[in-house]
């Protein structure tokens, strides 16, 4: 028997066939992720129905049925029987300046705008890791910006020369107050938090005890009680005649509160630094503060950027609580606009809350995305 | 040894005492204590002067005075003639009520959302993702306002209602539900329930011991279910159904002013409570979902593979291998979320639900005893958080990995 003419023996490689249509592309993806089994298929349809029944009414309300222009409530009322009126964006448009500036005087609002612009120009470069000169940038944002912003917002009078007219903080409101409280809270609580974190890890028993008591006290009480304390009790603690601005009192309360959380975040970073770093620094002859300043803190703080951003998100959301002690942040301003009879319509509160939700969501979601981005970026740095 | 000691003794005295870390440490600590004492004295003396000037008596004596204000929902008997102390206590119980109901709801929602987030089904996991992201990125106070001022104001008015199964009714006055009526003999049903729980615990222990000794399994979970559900049910019927339901009464006819729900029939859940609890539960559930997701993901896939290699099916793999390890990661942050929910329930003051802070605010306005009221608040919340951290320490010790 000669083997030479056995036809079924291949003499060359078979051509590679494309994968079956059912396992690749959109169909393959759907089969794998949506319809892999009977139960999964049912789940998919329930999920689609659920998503549709939630999203469709919102889109209907916010866009399709919405009223975009108008001068008063008449624009947002149903003109004939059975007509559904959605979001009253005309009301938001009319109130937008109040939502941003509160009752800040009209002719001085450019000062607030300048502060917003400065905030963006000093903070954003600090957050982008690839940009150089972080040290200078940090000084600009943490030291120069607060001073400039303070004088821009409150006013500047030298002697008898009114360079910038004084604006009382009672006239501030809206997004301005939200940002002032959140940014001040975070900027002021950072150094305090670092000090407390170092204190909690200190060898000195009394320093350690005091730090622990301070941190656990502020972390254990709700922010509302802190705000009540700041607005009601703080004046009692001061000598007769010494009074604080209400906003300043709230800022002190928020800062103390935030610094306890900040301390725990920073402590996490300090704990993550290997002991060899401390020992190496000490072996080089560095004392405590140079060691912290040059070796430990730069590494620890970099590591906890996501934690700091998360604290900031929490603080940003928590600023809404100041409306309970009678200040008007963004939410407070929106809430108080509901009492205006000129715009009182059935959909007014929904519109206001939808607007507030959108603003807060954009800010907080953006920051949380940034925090995740930093976490990934920092994580790869530690994989060897 | 002797040589060494001689050497140290021979070294010359240090140039400055400040270079000795020990002495420097003591110096700084003395400085800190002096600073704290001084600022404490400053605050106390100022406060005393200020209080005298405003004619406010300090101390907790005011707690015995008559409160004179009503509370819309109390768990203990309370009237306007009760004292401030009783008012604060009623508020504290309301805080606990919101916390307990909120925690139960948030846990269920959070676990569902967290597991849904890990679902291989793309639609389900996307829904869970946006649920979590939207809810945790919007301030809680805004959510409470939304539920209270937008949703619960859109329900029918006093003379109308929405009904579910003709048992639960919702209108502007809140949620109405049937109230259980305990007649004579109902206590025996209750004892039966207790006996069933005790028996279940006993059986579970015995089953575990037997399994450890012989390897034979006993379906203790099913038996437990059967006992806890069955025993009270049988007693219930044997005793002649001693527990009845008092349905809310809705008058549709009659004089206009008397239409609507009759007072004090059935259970009435006030809208403030509904809005607060729902908002707290949903907000916290978003955080719990993330904790659950992270916890399950923290168990490496090798564990699943090893369990499968040992011949365990999907169910036992989850129950015996994945969940116990995931719980170790989940429970500590979960407890701190529970504590957060409890602390956040203080936002009740914004919609005037009478919790501890809300009632305390009224007391504060009436008496001017700001320091005392705030001290009460802080003491209550601090002890709650202390209790929680004690539990956490105990749990962490119990659950710590026993390593070689």
Q: How many CB pairs under 8 A join A and B?
A: 147
CB contact under 8 A, A207 and B133: no
pLDDT of residue A161: 79
Joined together, the tokens standing for residue B207 give 């089953």
Strand B260-261 relative to strand B250-251, pairing: antiparallel
Give chain B's mean pLDDT: 82
B172-194 tens-digit pLDDT: 777 777 777 777 777 777 788 88
B168-171, strands of its sheet edge to edge: B162-164, B168-171, B174-177, B267-269
Residues of A in contact with B343 (CB under 8 A): 221-222
Rg (CA), chain B: 29
CB B363 within 8 A of CB B88: yes
For the segment B368-395, the average pLDDT, to the nearest whole number, is 86
Residue B67 has pLDDT above 80, yes or no: no
Higher per-residue confidence, B263 vs B273? B273
The shortest C-alpha distance from B337 to chain A (Å) reads 12
Q: State the best of A353, A355, A360, A363 to mutate against chain B, taking most chain B CBs within 10 Å.
A: A353
Please indicate whether residue B218 or residue B4 has the higher confidence score (pLDDT): B218
From A71's Cα to the closest Cα of chain B, the distance in A is 23
* Vertex B131 angle, CA A99 and A379, to 5°: 95
Confidence of residue B108 (pLDDT cuts 50, 70, 90): very high
Whether residue A229 contacts residue B374, with contact meaning beta carbons closer than 8 Å, is answered with yes
The pLDDT of residue B291 is: 92
pLDDT digits (tens, 9 = 90+) for B30-44: 999 999 999 999 888
pLDDT value for B233: 77
Report pLDDT digits (tens) over B145-157. Answer: 998 888 777 777 7
d(CA B89, nearest CA chain A) in Å = 17
DSSP assigned state of B350: G
Distance CA B172, CA B275 (A): 12
Q: Which two tokens stand for residue A58?
A: 């919102």
Question: Mutate which of A224, A241, A253, A347 to test chain B, going by most B C-beta atoms within 10 A?
Answer: A224
Collect contacts of B155-163 with beta carbons under 8 A, ≥24 apart: B158/B259, B158/B260, B158/B261, B159/B256, B159/B259, B159/B260, B161/B250, B161/B261
B155–A contact, CB cutoff 8 A: no
Verify whether the Cβ–Cβ distance A237 to B43 is below 8 Å.
yes
Nearest to A237 among B29, B46, B377 (CB): B46
Q: What is the pLDDT of residue A382?
A: 47
User: Chain B closest CA to A251's CA: distance in Å?
Assistant: 18
Residue B43 pLDDT: 86
Question: Looking at residue A2, what is its pLDDT?
Answer: 53
Nearest CA in chain B to A43: B124
| Residues of chain B neighbouring A317 (CB-CB closer than 8 A) | 137-140
CB proximity B151 to A under 8 Å: no
Residues of chain A with pLDDT under 70: 1-7, 81-82, 380-384
Q: What is the pLDDT of residue A37?
A: 81
Compute the distance between CA of residue B219 and CA of residue B174 in angstroms, rounded to an integer.
43
Q: Is B23 on the interface with A (CB under 8 A)?
A: no
Answering whether pTM is above 0.90, one says no
pLDDT range class, residue B12, cuts 50, 70, 90: low
Distance in Å, alpha carbon of A357 to nearest chain B alpha carbon: 6
Residue B1 confidence (pLDDT) above 60:
no
Q: Tell me, what's the ipTM?
A: 0.86
* Position with higher pLDDT, B303 vs B163: B303
């Amino acid at each position: 028997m000669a083997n030479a003419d056995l036809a079924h023996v291949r003499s060359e490689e078979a051509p590679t066939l494309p994968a079956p249509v059912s396992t690749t592309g959109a169909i393959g993806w759907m089969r794998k992720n949506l319809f892999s089994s009977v139960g999964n298929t049912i789940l998919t349809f329930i999920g689609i129905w659920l998503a549709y029944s939630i999203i469709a009414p919102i889109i209907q309300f916010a866009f399709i049925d919405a009223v975009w222009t108008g001068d008063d409530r008449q624009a947002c009322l149903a003109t004939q029987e059975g007509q559904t009126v959605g979001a009253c964006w005309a009301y938001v448009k009319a109130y937008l300046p109040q939502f941003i500036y509160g009752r800040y005087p009209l002719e001085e609002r450019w000062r607030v705008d300048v502060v917003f612009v400065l905030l963006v120009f000093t903070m954003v470069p600090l957050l982008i890791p690839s940009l150089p000169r972080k040290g200078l940038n940090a000084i600009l944002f943490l030291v120069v910006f607060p001073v400039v912003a303070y004088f821009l917002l409150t006013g500047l009078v030298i002697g008898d020369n009114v360079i910038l007219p004084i604006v009382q903080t009672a006239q501030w409101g809206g997004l301005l107050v939200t940002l002032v409280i959140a940014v001040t809270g975070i900027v002021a609580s950072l150094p305090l938090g670092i000090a407390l974190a170092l204190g909690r890890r200190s060898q000195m028993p009394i320093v350690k005890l005091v730090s622990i008591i301070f941190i656990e006290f502020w972390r254990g009480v709700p922010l509302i009680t802190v705000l009540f304390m700041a607005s009601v009790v703080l004046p009692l603690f001061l000598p007769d005649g010494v009074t604080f601005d209400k906003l300043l009192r709230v800022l002190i309360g928020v800062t103390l509160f935030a610094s306890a959380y900040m301390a725990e975040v920073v402590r996490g970073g300090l704990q993550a630094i290997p002991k060899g770093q401390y020992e190496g620094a000490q072996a080089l002859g560095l004392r405590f503060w140079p060691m912290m300043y040059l070796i430990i803190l730069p590494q620890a703080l970099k590591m906890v950027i996501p934690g700091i951003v998360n604290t900031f998100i929490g603080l940003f959301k928590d600023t809404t609580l100041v409306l309970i002690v009678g200040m008007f942040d963004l939410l407070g301003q929106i809430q108080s606009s509901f009492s205006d009879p000129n715009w009182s319509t059935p959909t007014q509160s929904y519109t206001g809350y939808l607007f507030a939700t959108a603003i807060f969501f954009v800010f907080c979601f953006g920051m949380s995305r940034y925090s995740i981005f930093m976490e990934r970026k920092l994580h790869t740095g530690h994989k060897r | 040894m002797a040589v060494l000691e001689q050497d140290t003794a021979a070294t010359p005295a240090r140039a400055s005492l400040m270079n000795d870390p020990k002495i420097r440490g003591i110096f700084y600590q003395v400085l800190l204590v002096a600073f704290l004492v001084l600022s404490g004295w400053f605050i106390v003396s100022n406060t005393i002067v200020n209080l005298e000037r405003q004619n406010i008596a300090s101390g907790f004596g005011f707690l015995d005075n008559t409160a004179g204000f009503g509370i819309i929902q109390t768990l203990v008997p309370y009237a306007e003639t009760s004292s401030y102390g009783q008012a604060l206590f009623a508020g504290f119980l309301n805080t606990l009520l919101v916390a307990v109901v909120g925690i139960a709801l948030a846990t269920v929602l959070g676990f569902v959302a967290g597991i849904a987030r890990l679902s291989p089904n793309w639609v389900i996991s996307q829904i869970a993702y946006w649920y979590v992201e939207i809810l945790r990125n919007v301030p809680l106070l805004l959510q409470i306002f939304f539920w209270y001022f937008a949703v619960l104001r859109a329900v029918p008015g006093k003379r109308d209602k929405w009904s579910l199964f003709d048992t639960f009714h919702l209108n502007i006055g809140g949620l109405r539900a049937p109230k259980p009526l305990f007649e004579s003999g109902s206590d025996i049903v209750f004892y039966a329930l207790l006996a069933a729980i005790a028996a279940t615990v006993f059986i579970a222990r015995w089953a575990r011991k037997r399994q450890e000794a012989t390897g034979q399994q006993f379906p203790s979970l099913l038996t437990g279910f059967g006992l806890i559900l069955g025993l009270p049910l049988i007693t219930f019927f044997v005793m002649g159904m001693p527990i009845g339901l008092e349905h809310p009464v809705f008058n549709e006819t009659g004089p206009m002013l008397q239409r609507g729900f009759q007072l004090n029939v059935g259970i009435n859940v006030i809208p403030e409570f509904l809005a607060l609890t729902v908002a707290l539960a949903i907000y916290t559930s978003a955080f719990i979902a993330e904790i659950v997701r992270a916890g399950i993901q923290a168990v490496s896939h090798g564990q699943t593979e090893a369990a499968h290699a040992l011949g365990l099916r999907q169910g036992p793999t989850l129950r015996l291998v994945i969940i116990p390890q995931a719980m170790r990661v989940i429970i500590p942050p979960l407890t701190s979320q529970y504590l957060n929910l409890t602390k956040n329930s203080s936002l009740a003051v914004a919609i005037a639900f009478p919790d501890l802070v809300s009632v305390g605010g009224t007391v504060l306005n009436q008496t001017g005893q700001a320091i005392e009221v705030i001290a009460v608040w802080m003491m209550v919340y601090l002890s709650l958080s202390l209790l929680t951290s004690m539990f956490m320490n105990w749990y962490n010790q119990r659950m710590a990995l026993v390593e070689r």
